[in-house]
A and B are shown apart, each in its own frame.
Chain A
Amino acid sequence: MSGSVLVFVEQVEGVVQKSGLVALQAAHELKERWGLSSVSTVTLGKGAQRAAQSLLQYSTTNAYFSEDSSLESYQAVTYKAAFVDAFEKASAVVGVAAATSTGKDFMPRVGAQISAGQASDIIRVNEDGSLKRPMYAGDVLADVEILSEKKLVTVRVSAFAPLEPSGSSDGSVVDLEFSQSEAAAGEVINFEVSGGDRPELTEADVVVSGGRAMQSSENFEKYIYPLADALGAAVGASRAAVDSGYAPNDWQVGQTGKIVAPNLYIAIGISGAIQHLAGMKDSKTIVAINKDAEAPIFEVADFGLVADLYEVVPDLTEKIKGVKAG
């Protein structure tokens, strides 16, 4: 194949997001595996120029950016148009984005516009050049090949390490000089942030998740939060807990929520439905606390404690604080 790889890198106020560095890592692997010429990036929105500048440290050939006002708040149609603009300017044949809600939302539109097939949520670039991706909630791993000449890939954030800076900056920052020609399709009228100073779920080293057995959001506060605080962990939740209103939607770990693979995942009062396991079974160490010895979660847990969470979680929190202190 000849041509370059263009990576969409998410940035917030000029700071490159970890998901973007994960996408960059996958992009460099694709470049090697598919024999492509170079890797370029595109950053959009307020702060995009500063983010582009920082990306030069990552062996980026051209760091495209646009801070056009049409990109100020995310919209699928506008981001697609800007990405396609950069794709053409970069003479790219492969486009990459992390499978965040943004990447998932606009990349397929790119594919429809430039007739590029997309492999979603890849977890590995195989030696033979095929791409590995989960299907059936992770019950099947499929090796796929994109048949179109231009190819798009979204990358599962928990499956690749973020690219390390190479130190060299031979590349250039390039203003896309993008202006939106397609009619604005809509407007953002509200954004309700889920809140918290906790680590981001998909970036945390440790995750503590609560299930339906928590019975209330107050119990999340009373039992899960202190344990998470003691561990410096992010807080997750099962679908049942979110559906019942005990936790916000973007704390849901599972096939159709967040996919995580932290060093330590502690599942509290979670039975372990297939859809939940799909979101956390690649964690390095899994702990399960559940009253029911037959709960499916124990099949993936490295360490299982059959006990009443209301009795043991406060004790666990205290003991961990003790370990951390001394």
Chain B
Amino acid sequence: MKILVPVKRVPDYEAKIKVNSEQDGIVTDGIKWIVNPFDEIAVEEAIKLRDSGAAEEVIVVGIGPEDSATQLRYAMAMGADRGVLVKHDGFVDSSLASLVLAEVYKRGEYGLIIMGKQSIDSDANQTAQLLAERLELPQACFASKVEIGEGTVAVTREVDGGLETIKVSTPCVISTDLRLNEPRYASLPGIMKAKKKPLDEFTFADLGVDDQIQVKVLRMSPPPARSAGKKVEDVAALVSALQNEAKVI
């Protein structure tokens, strides 16, 4: 079975994200790009499944400008077998991403798609679900545990109220949550090997996909600042402040 793992390039989550002066995007100068942490978890899970014998190949796919190939190479350095880059310089929303990924899926023979539940830039949490519907596949989102069976997979999902375990038939789309695994760091030998692994490139035209988004960002702004707080001396002072100043108790 081959596993397809979509991987998105996002700004490092430890970076201070600033809105640009035109208020229509973020400042990208000096941004450190990383693999979306949830997608990294997806890559890790796919590699573990391959290494356990449940799959034979892990293919990572990204959509973005030429230099986002770096993130695909990182995933290959972790252990993915090969990569696919769909080159595109413009903004890609969840809908467009799902259309592109569906076309990539159809051009291979995959038994499973594993991807992050959301990307930490748009925080939309849609692409996995959209992709599953477009491909008419079952989904198992927000996975904290994955167990492959015969033609099925049992997935424990983190939902409001607790943990739900469902069994769905494969192929299916799984979206990863934080606690599914702890991704390995790419080793130096891994990085060297990754340089030689195949990376195929496609354009939207190759896939027959129109560059059309469904949700447009009109403007961006920083969140309102909270007014400065104060330190209190001790518990008594805190209780007094809560009672008399904030009036919350």
Residues of A whose CB lies within 8 Å of any CB of B are 75-77, 80, 100-102, 104-109, 111-113, 116-121, 130, 134-148, 185-195, 202, 206, 231, 239, 242-243, 248-250, 255-256, 258, 263-264, 274-275, 281, 284-287, 293, 298, 300-307, 312, 315-316, 319-320, 323-324
Q: Taking the nearest CB of chain A, how far is it from the CB of B128, in angstroms?
A: 8
**A312 — which chain B residues lie within 8 A by C-beta?**
234-235
A151 to B179, CA, bound (A): 32
Known contacts A300-B226, A323-B243; is-contact A189 B167 (Cβ 8 Å): yes
A285 to B124, CA, bound (A): 28
Known contacts A101-B160, A109-B130, A120-B125; is-contact A302 B246 (Cβ 8 Å): yes
Residues of B whose CB lies within 8 Å of any CB of A are 11, 13-14, 16-17, 19, 26, 38, 93-95, 98, 117-118, 120-127, 129-130, 132-134, 138-142, 144, 154, 156-169, 172, 177-179, 213-223, 226, 229-232, 234-236, 238-239, 241-243, 246, 248-249
Task: Check B215–A119 contact: CB distance below 8 A.
Answer: yes
Instruction: Give 10 closest A-B pairs by Cβ, nearest first.
Output: A117-B214, A186-B168, A185-B138, A112-B133, A108-B129, A101-B159, A108-B126, A109-B133, A190-B165, A302-B229
**A117 — which chain B residues lie within 8 A by C-beta?**
93, 95, 213-215
Task: Check B11–A136 contact: CB distance below 8 A.
Answer: yes
Known contacts A250-B161, A320-B239; is-contact A139 B231 (Cβ 8 Å): no
Q: Apart from A80-B133, A112-B95, what are 12 other A-B pairs with CB-CB below 8 Å? A: A105-B141, A108-B94, A116-B214, A120-B124, A140-B223, A185-B168, A189-B154, A192-B163, A192-B165, A250-B159, A250-B162, A305-B235
Q: Taking the nearest CB of chain A, how far is it from the CB of B33, in angstroms?
A: 14
Task: Check A286–B216 contact: CB distance below 8 A.
Answer: no
**B125 — which chain A residues lie within 8 A by C-beta?**
104, 108, 120-121
Q: Taking the nearest CB of chain B, how far is it from the CB of A212, in angstroms?
A: 15
**A188 — which chain B residues lie within 8 A by C-beta?**
164-166
A316 to B232, CA, bound (A): 13
Task: Check B246–A315 contact: CB distance below 8 A.
Answer: no
Known contacts A80-B133, A188-B166; is-contact A249 B144 (Cβ 8 Å): yes
A202 to B160, CA, bound (A): 10
Q: Which one of A146, A239, A250, A287 lies within 8 Å of B178 (CB-CB)?
A: A239
CB-nearest residue of chain A to B138: A185
A286 to B241, CA, bound (A): 12
Q: Which one of B93, B167, B218, B238 lies within 8 Å of A130 (CB-CB)?
A: B218
Task: Check A111–B138 contact: CB distance below 8 A.
Answer: no
Q: Which one of B121, B133, B223, B249 lies within 8 Å of A141 (CB-CB)?
A: B223
Q: Which one of A118, A190, A274, A316 lies within 8 Å of B239 (CB-CB)?
A: A316
